[in-house]
Amino acid sequence: MTASGSRPEEIAQEIRKDIFRGRYRPGERLPSERELAERAGANRGSAREALKILAQQRLIEVRPGGSRVIPVHRASLEVLGHVLQMSGAPDPDLLAQLLDVHELLWAGAVRLAVERASDEELGRARELLATLSRERISEEEYLRTIAALLEIIAEASHNLVLRMVGNSLFTILGAVVPLLQRLRPSHATLLPAVRKVRRALARRDPVAAEQGIRALLRLKREYVLKKLGTPR
Q: Considering the entire predicted model, what is its pTM?
A: 0.80
DSSP β-bridge partners for residue 61: 68
CATH topology of domain 7-76: Arc Repressor Mutant, subunit A (1.10.10)
* CATH superfamily entry for domain 80-227: GntR ligand-binding domain-like (1.20.120.530)
CA distance 153 to 144: 14
Portions of the chain given CATH number 1.10.10.10: 7-76
Using a pLDDT cut of 70, give the percent of the chain over it.
91
CA distance 49 to 213: 43
Cβ atoms of residues 59 and 140 within 8 Å: no
- Chain mean position to CA 227: 19
The predicted structure's pLDDT at residue 214: 95
pLDDT in tens, 32-68: 999 999 999 999 999 999 999 999 999 999 888 889 9
Residue 13: what are its φ and ψ, rounded to 5°? -65, -40
Portions of the chain given CATH number 1.20.120.530: 80-227
pLDDT in tens, 136-185: 888 788 888 988 999 999 999 999 999 999 988 888 877 766 666 667 78
Buried b / exposed e along 136-169 (16+ C-beta atoms within 10 A):
eeeeeebeebbeebbbbbbbbbebeebbebbebb
